[in-house]
């Protein structure tokens, strides 16, 4: 158990995509690709400090009250009842405001590293609450990114208070393509664009699609899954903020995606696909559609059954 000053632990937490169509704030999926890395080092000075951030272009705050890595680390120490000092070095592999769970990855990597640093008193699931405290600072108290960032796989967040999470099976063979345009959309802004209330008929259709999507995950029915990647409530409001988004989704569907929608709060667009080769074709078509709208982009493909935070 490394508890001497200067001892350190490095952890990585992956990108995640959330919502998946009808599951606004309740469905989240871990991805295989970029992520954030945090090194936590024991310090003789109590409290949590961010000593360096790399890969953010200077955009993220060093203030430990405002930075999700520091908030999650401090909340992890508090939950464990440990009054130690921790210094964090954050290496951002994820673009900020991209719809790939950037703030959640920083929080998950920091909570995971901090817990290991103090001897691992908390289980992975118990780290979700500290990460929720962190998300609340920047993007609202939702667990659909932090839960898969920590636990991996596909997670249904039934409640955040008290936390009630359900792991869903990932349909065999499912791949994901993700295309991120060079365009930042802050989660706060993307959430402010959402309607205060929705019509009952829309609620009925959204509930039916979410229920059917969960069933498709259990049965591995990709044809049913394809019919359920639908969101008439949230994604259209975000799509209106993302240049070319409608064309990008249409391009994914023409290239054979099972479904395509905004990833999390955007502007990344996600496509669910039947195979790796189809995911590669689909992401190329999506990137071309963004290009036609004047936006360069980066993309990656991922299996849908990926691990969460781990030691590096
Ligand atoms: N479910 C959230 C949203 C994810 O769509 O706003 C953003 O982090």
Atom 6 (ligand 1) nearest CA: 265
Is-catalytic flag, 187? yes
Domain total of the chain: 2
Report whether pLDDT(168) > 60: yes
- CATH code of residue 155: 3.30.230.10
Report whether pLDDT(2) > 80: no
Whether this model's pTM surpasses 0.85:
yes
What's the 8 CA to ligand 1 centre distance in angstroms?
A: 32
Please report whether residue 311 resides in a domain: no
Quick: pLDDT tens for 253-305: 999 999 999 999 999 999 999 999 999 999 999 999 999 999 999 999 999 99
Ligand 1 atom nearest 190 alpha carbon: 6
pLDDT band for 173, please (50, 70, 90 cuts): very high
**Active-site entry in 87, 89, 129, 135:** 135
Please report whether residue 223 resides in a domain: yes
End-to-end CA distance of the chain: 17
Please report whether residue 37 resides in a domain: yes
Question: 93: domain range?
Answer: 8-168
Quote the pLDDT of residue 5. 78
Which residue, 80, 79, 49, is CA-closest to 66?
Answer: 49
Ligand 1 atom nearest 135 alpha carbon: 8
Q: Do 160 and 182 sit in the same domain of this protein?
A: no
Is-catalytic flag, 135? yes
């Amino acid at each position: 158990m490394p508890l001497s000053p200067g001892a350190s632990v490095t952890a990585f937490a992956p990108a995640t995509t959330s919502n998946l169509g009808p599951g606004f704030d309740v469905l989240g999926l871990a991805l295989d690709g970029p992520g954030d890395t945090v090194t936590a080092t024991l310090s003789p000075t109590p409290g949590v400090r961010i000593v360096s951030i790399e890969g953010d272009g200077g955009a993220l705050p060093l203030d430990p009250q405002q930075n999700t890595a520091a908030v999650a680390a401090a909340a992890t120490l508090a939950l464990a009842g440990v009054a130690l000092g921790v210094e964090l070095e954050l290496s951002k592999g994820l673009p900020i405001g991209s719809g790939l769970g950037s703030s959640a990855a920083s929080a998950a990597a920091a909570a995971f590293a901090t817990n290991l640093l103090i001897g691992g008193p908390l289980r992975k699931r118990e780290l979700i609450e500290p990460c929720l405290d962190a998300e609340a600072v920047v993007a609202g108290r939702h667990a659909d990114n932090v839960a898969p960032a920590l636990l991996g796989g596909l997670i249904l967040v039934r409640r955040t208070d008290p936390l009630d999470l359900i792991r869903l099976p990932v349909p065999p063979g499912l791949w994901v393509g993700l295309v991120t345009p060079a365009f930042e959309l802050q989660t706060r802004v993307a959430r402010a664009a959402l309607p205060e209330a929705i019509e009952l008929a829309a609620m009925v259709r959204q509930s039916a699609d979410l229920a059917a999507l969960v069933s498709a995950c259990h049965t591995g029915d990709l044809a049913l899954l394809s019919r359920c990647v639908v969101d008439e409530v949230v994604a259209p409001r975000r799509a209106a903020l993302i240049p070319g988004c409608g064309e990008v989704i249409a391009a994914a569907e023409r290239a054979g995606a099972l479904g395509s929608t905004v990833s999390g709060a955007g502007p990344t667009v996600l496509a669910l696909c039947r195979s790796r080769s189809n995911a590669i074709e689909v992401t190329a078509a999506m990137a071309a559609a963004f290009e036609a709208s004047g936006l360069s982009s980066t993309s990656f493909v991922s299996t849908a059954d990926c691990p969460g935070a781990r030691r590096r």
